[in-house]
Amino acid sequence: MRVKRIAVVLLLSLAILGVGWGLVRTSAPPENEQEILASVAITHNDLARRQEAADRLTNQAQLAEVIKHATRPEDKPMREQAVKKLTDQALLAEIAKSDYDWPMRHAAIQNLTDQALLADVAINTDDDVTGLSAAQKLTDQTWIAEVARKATKDPSALLTRQWAVSMLTDQAVLADVAKNDPDVGIAWQAVLFLTDEALLANVAQTADDPSVRHDALRRLTDEAVLADIAKNDAAPDVRQAAEKRLMELQAESPSHHQ
């Protein structure tokens, strides 16, 4: 093992010095060649040598190392090429969340397909454009709901959450967002997508924010629920709105004209 390690170190030294490329290609043990290539791509002083080494990388972990550590301005094309070769979903998600360069984060998202990891990026990134890009690749309602509820790490996540709410089809989740979201704008948006009368009634009667209750009752057709709100809601404006909605429904009902 000691002899093997010394040989690898020697090969790495030769590669960094810019000699012995044929030796690196043929003599390095397969499990170490990728590590050597990554080290050359990161540390060699000559850009052409770095690029040549990076071009030959296939190992996912070593590609990620190059992306993380090859940070000289002239290394940008090499990093972009490396991220295009990445398929490891966890590594891509980490780059999407933490890389300092937006094109790199965007490229990582393009290769991400894992729904849980896309949701994780959308929820935990500090960059609204990255979060929205990740959210827009979601198709699973479970993960869309997670983003709608939890992407509150940064105020800039508002666009991401608005998109997630607009894509929700689960009425129970929409009702939950309408009642409990700390951002009243998101709550109002959820009410707009609610069509289930029982859930609308629940929001109109139990949401903490009076303006959300007001918006929900404006879409109700259940006169008994509206009468209860008109009588019992704590907010005068909500009671008045319920009375007005009742009158509108009664005016529209043929039975009230007979």
Question: Does some domain include residue 220?
Answer: yes
Question: Does some domain include residue 242?
Answer: yes
Rounded to two decimals, the pTM is: 0.76
Domain count, the chain: 1
Nearest to 7 by CA among 171, 20, 69: 20
Question: Does some domain include residue 94?
Answer: no
Question: Does some domain include residue 36?
Answer: no
Structure confidence by residue, pLDDT tens digits, 152-183:
656 667 889 999 999 999 999 999 999 999 88
Provide the domain limits for residue 239. 170-258
According to the model, what pLDDT value does residue 13 have? 46
Question: Does some domain include residue 101?
Answer: no
Question: Does some domain include residue 107?
Answer: no
Question: Does some domain include residue 114?
Answer: no
Radius of gyration of the chain from its Cα atoms, rounded to whole angstroms: 29
The mean pLDDT of the chain is 87
Distances, alpha carbon 7 to alpha carbons 12, 38, 58, 62, 241, in Å: 9, 17, 22, 20, 82
According to the model, what pLDDT value does residue 31 have? 63
Question: Does some domain include residue 145?
Answer: no
